[in-house]
Each structure stands twice: as structure tokens, then as C-alpha cells.
Structure 1
Amino acid sequence: MIEAVKFWNEPNNRSHWDLELDPEWAAYGAMVKEASAAVRAENVELTQVLGGISPIDPFFMQRLRDQGVLEGLDAVAVHGFPLDWNHWQIDEWPARIAEIESVTPLPVWVTEVGISTFGAEEVQEFGLRRTAELLMGRVPRIHWYSLYDLPKAWPATTRHREAEGSSYYRHFHMGLLREDGTPKLAARQFSACTPEMGICQWFHFEDHRLDDAVQWLRRLGVRRLRTGLSWADSFRPGADHWFDRQMRALEDFDVTLTFCFTPEHRGVAPHHTSPPRVAGEYAEFCARMVRRYAPGLRSVAQPLAASFLTPAPRDAPSPAA
């Protein structure tokens, strides 16, 4: 079942939101408020979470709070990778959580935390064990990133590969499983962390790993899964068929579903990080997905969401992945 929805992914990260087009996050804030109202109208009981922030920045969270963005939400989320990308040590996790708690009363979820095997598998093994010690019992949700290594033939979702150097290649080594599906050292101890610790696994359009992933998640004792549905992918031929297949395969897990990635032809700029060109279109997508996959008790304030109930437009060719 879907237990929560998230609005975007790492909105304060330049690889996921175009800060040149929206330097004060005003467009992002308006987009989240529209989407929150639209989703609440479809399912008043569904937990709503702010897109996980990376870096963990209390000033960014305070900015959104002051814009009123958090008022309709139920939780906020953070992402942390202290052994790979962040400029702080793994033992600082409790302090980083406390920084966000100091600026919002909402629960803080950790929806991505992981350690790459870029240097050695033993580093990930240590990192998993220490992360569990620091976060289990401290926050209500933890999602380990990720189940699978990213296939080397696929690009990582980032705009700055040329500028990232070796940091870019760490994206390809974050899994408990190698690209071919064989387990790494940390996979052997992950079951000791479940079901309290969940997993974040993104599935690409028509991802060949889906069925094997479900088997591995069950084998590891995972109950909570974070994944996403791409607004950009929704314009591909056969999108609804793929979304149906994905969500049907995951229906036995408690799913946190992330809505993100702007279709190139619907953005202010032709990129997945762009703010939408037309207000309300992202909210329409979120409402349509909730109506399709998480229908529930509808809000009594139906007229407020009337503009979000139209089907997604199909007037443009499919964007690139």
C-alpha cells in the first residue's frame, strides 16, 4: 500500500532543482502547496512529506517554513551520505536531525542514507552498522539507499557529471547488490535492520530489475520501500501500463511514493530540474497518481481542488529519460 507521498527529490540540490531559474525557491514552494492541496482533496488521510533535502540545511527548511510551504504537510525528509558526499562525519547524524527539528515541529524522516562500495565493500558494511546504531529509534522512517548498484550503462540523475569528478562514479556503487544482482558484504547484515529500516530503490522506465527486486526485498525482510513515479515518464507511450505494473508489484510493501522530474516540454527550461511552465500541472500529475494508486477518503473541500482533476495532457512527444 502507499503510506506516504513526497513532493520532489532534493529540491535544494542543484542536480535536482534549477536554482538559477528559482533562486529563492518561490516556484518550488508554490508548486508544493498546490500539490499538497490537490493530494489532500484526493486522500485526506495520506501522509505528505516534503521532498528529502540534500544537503541537510536548516536555513533552507526555515525558508520554506516562513513561506508557509510546510503548513499542509505531515513530515519533512532529509538525505545524508557522510562517507561519500557530505562534509560531516557519520557520528554527527543525531546533531543533523536536531538541526532540522529546531526549525519545524514536523517529524523528520531520513528517506535516503547510504554508503558506497566505491573504495571497499567493508566501508559500506561498517556504514550500515553505524547508521543503524545512530538512527534506529531516533527517527520514524529510515530508507537505505539503495538495493541495487546503478548499471554502468545508465547515467546517474545529475546535471553536473563533468564537474563532479570521482564523486559522480560513487553513484554507481550504492547498492547492497551489485549490478548483476549478487549480494555484497552489507547485504548479509541488512536483515538485522529490518523491518524498522526500509530501502529506497528508484525504478527506471520499464526497469528489468523490478521482479527480482521484489524477491530480494522480501528475502531481506523489508516492509517499507521508497520509490518514485516520474512526471516526465508519464508522457512516454505506455506510461500508465508501466506505472500499473510497478505499483502492482510493490503493493505488499508500505510505499513512500516520490513525485518528481519535470517533462522537458513542460518546464520553463527544457530540463528535468526546471520549475513547471504552467502553474498547477505538477499538482495535476500528483492528484492523478493518488487517484489511481492511493484512492481514499476525499476532502470535503472538493471545490478547492477542481482545477487539479483533469487528466494529464498528451500533446507532446515523449521526453528523453
Structure 2
Amino acid sequence: MIEAVMLWNEPNNKSHWDPVLDPDWFLFSEMVKDAGHAIRAVNPALPRVLGGISPIDPHFIRRMEGQGVLAAVDAVAVHGFPLDWNLWPIHAWPEKIEEIRAVTGLPVWVSEVGVSSFGAEEVQAWGCERTAELLKGRAPRIHWYSLYDLPREWEATTRHKEAEGSSYYRHFHMGLLRQDGTPKLALDAFARHAPDLGLCQWFHFEDHRLDEAVAWMRRLGVTYLRTGLSWADSFRPNALDWFDRQMEALADFDVTVTFCFTPEHRGIAPHHTSAPLVREEFAEFCAAMVRRYAPGQTVAADAGEIMLQGAL
């Protein structure tokens, strides 16, 4: 069910990793290395991707290499939103990718790219077309963020809030579909470039949009998707039932699963951005999810042998 795993999300962004608790990313580096090795032990063939960085910063990638992280992953990833949040023009996309290629020999994925319709739907539609023109053929994976607008009653995963003008509110307008499921102008633009473009769609716990999202992705010709399995959600009642339902619904797609979000009671601070109290627990979660949804050939063969012996 999984074609790749991503270890964390935007680790160099304070909305996803607390730099006060871990200013040198030492704890993060040790956590990711543990997780990378644990995943490799379960499924040696499963690609491991370092969580997409935002901002795109070659110095951060050099830091990760110096701290041994790149030896525990098979690719790195970047996130970019030049028409909404980044301080560079959309036409700089090729240069931004080359900045990262210049400091690592690993493949560079674009695991989130998007344009909000906050100002105008026409801007989003143009941005989708131009993004496809600039990125197709330059990265092994290009995940457009996202299929759905973020529901207004939900909170955006950011610490910035209203401190940066319209920035916070743009989070709610990134979808090709509105909150009620009706299409925006950019939907047709995206469809013209699928399956070269994939999607990034985060599903909340027991998300009511899951089945409808699958139907839309099939209709659009999407073949690959990035989503997440939340370490924090794994402590909810019936968590495995939800994880199973989500992964079964997405079984027809090539899925990159992002493992992230620290459970409040397992963090140094009670927040999803916190470094964990026991970093090995994140590795154990990652290994358990891979064992469940993308077991290696050895694990699968052992399971089959046990079943055969039981039948005899």
C-alpha cells in the first residue's frame, strides 16, 4: 500500500518542529536516523524521504548531512509556495531545486507545491499551469497541495496565525475543490497535467472526505498521492481501525506516507512540534506502520510460512 515513507514534515519550519527545544536539530537528527534504520530493517526496499523542507534551504540540508541524517534516507524533499508565502518568484523553481541538488547527491522531490485562491481563482489556475510547466521532468515526485480547501472550522497547522497579514487565511484556500466539494477553476488546469502531477492531501482523523477524495482522484487520473499517518493520532481510540480504512481506500494509488506529529504526552513539551521524550518511540511507530502496510519480502514470506504451517 505504500511506495515510500517520509520522515516528518517541514522540520526547518517552527510550525512543525520547535527550534527552541532543539536549536541545532540534534534531537531531530537522532530521531530521524533511528526511524530510518528501523524502517530499513522492516523493508530494505522501501524508499525513505527526509521530510520536505520549508523554506528551501541548502544550509539545512548540509546540516542534515553533517549530522548523519542523509545516510539514513534515500531522497530529500522541498516545499514551495512562491505566490503565497515564499520570498522568491514562481519562475525561480528550477533554480531552487538546483540549489538543493548542489549540496546532495540524493534525489530531490517536490512533496508540496501549491497556490491559494485567496486573492482570485484565476491566479490559482494560472499558478497550477505555470508550476507544471516549470517542474515536470525536474523531480521524481511533484505533489500538488491540495485537493480540498481546509474546512473553515478547523485550525491550520501553523504557529503564525494572524501575525503575517493574509498568510494564515491562505491556508484555507489551497484546494482544487472548495470545502463543500465544488470545483474551482484550477481543477481543469490540474487535470491537464495528471498523472505527471500527483496530490498531497492530509486526512484528519476519521476524515469525512476520504471516500469522496478517492472518487475525485480517480476521475482526475491521479496515480500518486502523499498523505500522513499521525503518530499523535495513534493514541486515539480505534486508531488502527481508521489507519486501516484510510490505507485500504488509497490502495489503488502509489502512496507516500508521512510520519509526523508528536503526541502531547510523549513530547518534551506538550505540543505536536516537540522533540519526543524518548526518540526511539517514533522509530517504533514508523516500523510498526511499515510492518502493517508495506512489509518487506522477508517479513511477508515469514508470515506466509507461518500460515502454511498452521494450515498443515
TM-score of the two chains, using structure 2 as the length reference? 0.95
In structure 1, what is the Cα distance between the partners aligned to 2:159 and 2:190?
31
**Aligned CA distance change for structure 1 residues 270 and 94 (closer, same or farther; 3 Å):** same
**How far does the alpha carbon of each residue in 1:273-293 deviate from its partner, in whole angstroms, 9 at most, with x for none?**
000001300000000000111
Deviation at 1:190, TM superposition (A): 1.4
1:123 paired residue number: 123
**How far does the alpha carbon of each residue in 1:56-115 deviate from its partner, in whole angstroms, 9 at most, with x for none?**
000000000111100121110000000000000000000000000000000000000000
AA in 2 matched with 1:213: A
In structure 2, what is the Cα distance between the partners aligned to 1:75 and 1:129?
26
In structure 1, what is the Cα distance between the partners aligned to 2:270 and 2:159?
12
In structure 2, what is the Cα distance between the partners aligned to 1:160 and 1:173?
16
Write the mapping of 1:102-251 to structure 2, written as runs, cut at 5 A. 102-251=102-251
2:72 paired residue number: 72
Aligned residues with identical type, % of pairs: 72
Given that 1:42 and 1:295 are in contact with CA atoms closer than 8 Å, whether structure 2 keeps it comes out as yes
Which SS does the other structure have where 2:279 is aligned? coil
The number of equivalent residue pairs is 299
In structure 2, what is the Cα distance between the partners aligned to 1:165 and 1:232?
30
RMSD: 0.9
Does residue 36 of structure 2 align to residue 31 of structure 1? no
For structure 2, the 5+ residue unaligned runs are: 300-312
2:13 paired residue number: 13
Given that 1:41 and 1:298 are in contact with CA atoms closer than 8 Å, whether structure 2 keeps it comes out as no
Given that 1:40 and 1:298 are in contact with CA atoms closer than 8 Å, whether structure 2 keeps it comes out as no
AA in 2 matched with 1:28: F
In structure 1, what is the Cα distance between the partners aligned to 2:110 and 2:59?
18
Which SS does the other structure have where 1:85 is aligned? coil
In structure 2, what is the Cα distance between the partners aligned to 1:280 and 1:138?
35
In structure 2, what is the Cα distance between the partners aligned to 1:131 and 1:287?
35
1:82 paired residue number: 82
AA in 1 matched with 2:260: C
Deviation at 1:193, TM superposition (A): 0.8
In structure 1, what is the Cα distance between the partners aligned to 2:124 and 2:291?
39
Runs of at least 4 residues off by over 2 Å: 162-165
AA in 1 matched with 2:12: N
Q: Which 10-residue stretch deviates more, 190-199 or 216-225?
A: 190-199
In structure 2, what is the Cα distance between the partners aligned to 1:40 and 1:102?
26
2:53 paired residue number: 53
Which SS does the other structure have where 1:280 is aligned? helix
AA in 2 matched with 1:186: A
Given that 1:42 and 1:297 are in contact with CA atoms closer than 8 Å, whether structure 2 keeps it comes out as no
**How far does the alpha carbon of each residue in 1:154-183 deviate from its partner, in whole angstroms, 9 at most, with x for none?**
001112314233200000000000000000
Does residue 236 of structure 2 align to residue 261 of structure 1? no
Does residue 256 of structure 2 align to residue 272 of structure 1? no
**Aligned CA distance change for structure 1 residues 137 and 264 (closer, same or farther; 3 Å):** same
In structure 2, what is the Cα distance between the partners aligned to 1:140 and 1:127?
20
2:287 paired residue number: 287
In structure 2, what is the Cα distance between the partners aligned to 1:47 and 1:71?
12
Q: Which 10-residue stretch deviates more, 153-162 or 279-288?
A: 153-162
In structure 2, what is the Cα distance between the partners aligned to 1:72 and 1:231?
20
2:302 paired residue number: none
Deviation at 1:298, TM superposition (A): 4.5
In structure 2, what is the Cα distance between the partners aligned to 1:166 and 1:197?
27
Which SS does the other structure have where 1:41 is aligned? helix
TM-score of the two chains, using structure 1 as the length reference? 0.92
Deviation at 1:22, TM superposition (A): 0.4
Deviation at 1:50, TM superposition (A): 0.2
AA in 2 matched with 1:155: E
